[in-house]
């Protein structure tokens, strides 16, 4: 297999893609450490780098073809982003369940939000006179 020389287009797309990959790795490390400040910082950086990369790749796709190697790297970066998003969603769901245990969502007062009296029936049925 022969190596091809990088084209100006490849070099132009390489920089934003490297920034996205670096930001994804830093965010992954912050997620593993559960460092909220670092997660916030790296998420913001990733957002900026992704916007630049998408703009660069969109322009490149309009004017010429995107090199397959860079396209594959962008697809892998998208997969890693999806995995991190899923990890955050699972963490959120776990936190929500823990909060539901600690702070029950069932009303315990005598009056509901609408000002009407709330009644609890032991059998779950309706009241009869």
Give the separation between CA 23 and CA 29, rounded to whole angstroms.
10
Q: Tokens 């899923």: give the residue.
A: 86
Tokens linked to 16: 């934003």
Q: What is the pLDDT of residue 62?
A: 87
- The phi and psi torsions of 86 (rounded to 5 degrees) equal -65, -40
Give the helix ranges, DSSP H, for 1-129: 8-33, 36-63, 68-102
Those residues of the chain that have pLDDT short of 50 are 1-3, 121
Q: What is the pLDDT of residue 107?
A: 59
Give the separation between CA 39 and CA 96, rounded to whole angstroms.
19
Q: What is the pLDDT of residue 45?
A: 95
Q: What is the pLDDT of residue 73?
A: 92
Q: Say if pTM beats, i.e. exceeds, 0.75.
A: no
How many Å is the Cα radius of gyration of the chain?
A: 25
Tokens linked to 4: 């091809």
Q: What is the pLDDT of residue 1?
A: 44
């Amino acid at each position: 297999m022969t190596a091809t020389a990088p084209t100006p287009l490849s070099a132009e797309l390489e920089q934003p893609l490297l920034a996205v990959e670096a930001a994804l790795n830093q965010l992954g490390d912050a997620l593993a450490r559960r460092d909220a400040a670092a997660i916030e910082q790296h998420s913001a950086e990733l957002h900026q780098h992704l916007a630049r990369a998408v703009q660069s790749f969109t322009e490149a796709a309009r004017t010429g073809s995107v090199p397959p190697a860079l396209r594959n790297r962008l697809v892998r970066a998208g997969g890693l982003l999806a995995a991190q998003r899923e990890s955050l969603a699972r963490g959120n769901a776990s936190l929500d369940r823990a909060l539901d245990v600690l702070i029950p969502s069932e009303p315990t007062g005598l009056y509901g939000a609408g000002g009407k009296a709330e009644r609890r029936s032991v059998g779950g049925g309706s009241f009869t006179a």
